[in-house]
Amino acid sequence: MATESSFLIAHPAALWLVWALPAVAAAFWLTWRWNRQALARYFSADQLSRLAGSVSPARRRAKLALLLLALLFSILALAEPKWGVEEQTVHTSGRDILVLLDVSKSMLATDVAPSRLERVKLDIQDMVGVLKGDRIGLIVFAGHPVLKCPLTIDYAFFRRALDRAGVQSVTRGGTLIGDAIRLGIDAFTDQIPNNKTMLLISDGEDQGSYPIEAARQAAERGIRIFTVGVGDRDFGSRIRVDGDFVRDEGKEVWTKLNPDELRRIAQETAGGYIPAGTRSLDLDRIYRQKISAAGGGALEETKKTFVESRYQLFLFFGVLFLAAECLMSDRVRTRRIAAMLVFLCFCAPSFGAGPDLPDVFDLYNEGRALYENGAYDSAAEYFSRASTGPSADFECDAFYNLGNANVQKAGRQKDADLPGAIQSLRLAVSAYRESLDRRPGKKDAQHNLELARRLLKQLVELQRKKEQEDRKRQDQKKDQTDTQAGQNAGDTSQGQPNPQSSPNQGPQDQGKSFNQKEAERQMKDRLKEMQDLRQQLMQAARQRGVDPEKNQEQAVGVVGGAVKDW
């Protein structure tokens, strides 16, 4: 059923044929003039009048107008106009698989041919070939993580995103495995348990991102993480970049596989660790034996939108005008030409009737149409698929519109689904950053990025207050229950004296015991808040390139700057 209205041109290049219509009209006029001049050389004016009979110039002009209209509507049919959004519900079952791919410079080491990164990309391509109904997504990470492909069943789109992944995909150097896991947790949009899997592929050289704590958060969400260790753990390898080896203070940098961190991550989530080392990695076998064998669930039903093609209407009018031109003709030659054109209209392959192979320009145009009609969720999906464009400027605009769609989506979600609105704003911030990476001087993206950050901070603060209020209500209810139980115990002790109790023990001592429990509970809450604050300080420091373990004072200053930016 059509839910929204929009207008698109599927093949705008076909409209260039409209410029041929004046040439057709000029050709007919020159032909008539040449024929008249040729006849005038052999016949007199009276003879020409008798030969012309009842044919009038007005009828010829009408015939030409009908022919031009027929050609015009045929060209419009080839351009395939579309309007009216058709929404279809698709039910899928299987698992959600999110690939976390390390694209730091250490993955350029050649202890695995041709390099660690290129080898695992080929292995991931092989695994995609055996997927059936599972959704798959891609996050690349180095100094910060980037969502390159949201969870989708469009395997061709995933392959294109994987092909483009490399060390240039992330502008900041380093290896922050914990941040990649946290972004992966947020990328799972549904709440269906036991169907979410992460496939983490790295050499394990983390730089203080607390991956074990992130793995525990994933385990609490029912997410299993399978880790794959790539590289030589004994001798290591040098890193070749632009024909030379990476150096640090004049010394060549050697990178080794660190399996301990990867093994602990897998253990925390009841997943598995695969020590690939320097061998070829058979990921399709690992998928069948480890991931698929764990079973899957019914994924949430997804709604796909299609803009209905209306080329048939224009083709109908084209044939109608052509038939009218044919009926007006009293010449055998003209009837043959008209019959040939009618035959071509019906038999020539139509762009609209052919297979639907949208390119990034079609995806971008459909995303804009959906955005203008308020279908922000569907628009975000189209802009995300169009973000792998042919140029940096095109990708900049696609990511910019993707951020706008996610901000609008968050505005609709904030009342009914506050966590979903926070996730949408985080995706918007990431999209604006990607847009600025491709065009740093884009002021609209800078302005919207600051706006999205402020909105995100407000919603996170609102969620924190709601959680505190919920905990406060639960604590009050628990205190009331404990108080009632103490009163009941006091009544019982007055009716039946306890020979084991001390004669000096009374209701005042019971009150002290209760106050001590309350103090212990409050102390635990304060300790937890201090731990959360410390984690935020460390995270903000890493984002500014400061090592929090070496310079605690500078880390605090970074957080102050971050708050000021908001």
The per-residue pLDDT for 212 is 92
The per-residue pLDDT for 299 is 54
The per-residue pLDDT for 278 is 72
Peptide bond into 114 cis (omega under 30): yes
The per-residue pLDDT for 285 is 80
The per-residue pLDDT for 199 is 92
The per-residue pLDDT for 503 is 42
Alpha carbons 119 and 121: distance in angstroms, whole number: 5
Give one word for 208, left, alpha or beta, with left for phi > 0 and alpha for psi -120 to 50. Answer: left
Contacts of 96 (CB under 8 A, 6+ apart): 134, 135, 136, 137, 151, 188, 190, 195, 196, 197, 299
What residues are paired with 145 via a beta bridge? 141
Among 341, 324, 354, which Cα is nearest to 78's?
Answer: 354
The segment(s) of the chain belonging to CATH 1.25.40.10 are: 361-458
CATH architecture of 361-458: Alpha Horseshoe (1.25)
The per-residue pLDDT for 564 is 28
Element (H, E) at 9: strand 2-9
The per-residue pLDDT for 505 is 44
- Looking up tokens 């897998």 gives 266
The per-residue pLDDT for 492 is 52
> Which CATH number applies to 93-298?
3.40.50.410
Positions in the chain short of pLDDT 50: 1-5, 332-334, 348-357, 496-514, 550-566
The per-residue pLDDT for 327 is 85
Among 281, 290, 310, which Cα is nearest to 126's?
Answer: 281
The per-residue pLDDT for 555 is 36
DSSP states along 452-493: HHHHHHHHHHHHHHHHHHHHHHHHHHHHHHHHHHHHHHHHHH
Distances (CA, A) of 266 to 121, 199, 261, 562: 21, 10, 9, 33
Question: And the tokens for 58?
Answer: 């007005």
Alpha carbons 428 and 424: distance in angstroms, whole number: 6
37 exposed, middle or buried (CB, 10 Å; 0-12, 13-18, 19+)? exposed
pLDDT tens-digit series, residues 480-528: 776 776 666 655 555 544 444 444 444 444 444 445 566 667 666 766 7
Alpha carbons 179 and 145: distance in angstroms, whole number: 7
Alpha carbons 374 and 551: distance in angstroms, whole number: 48
The per-residue pLDDT for 523 is 63
Distance of CA 107 to the CA centre of its chain: 25
The segment(s) of the chain belonging to CATH 3.40.50.410 are: 93-298
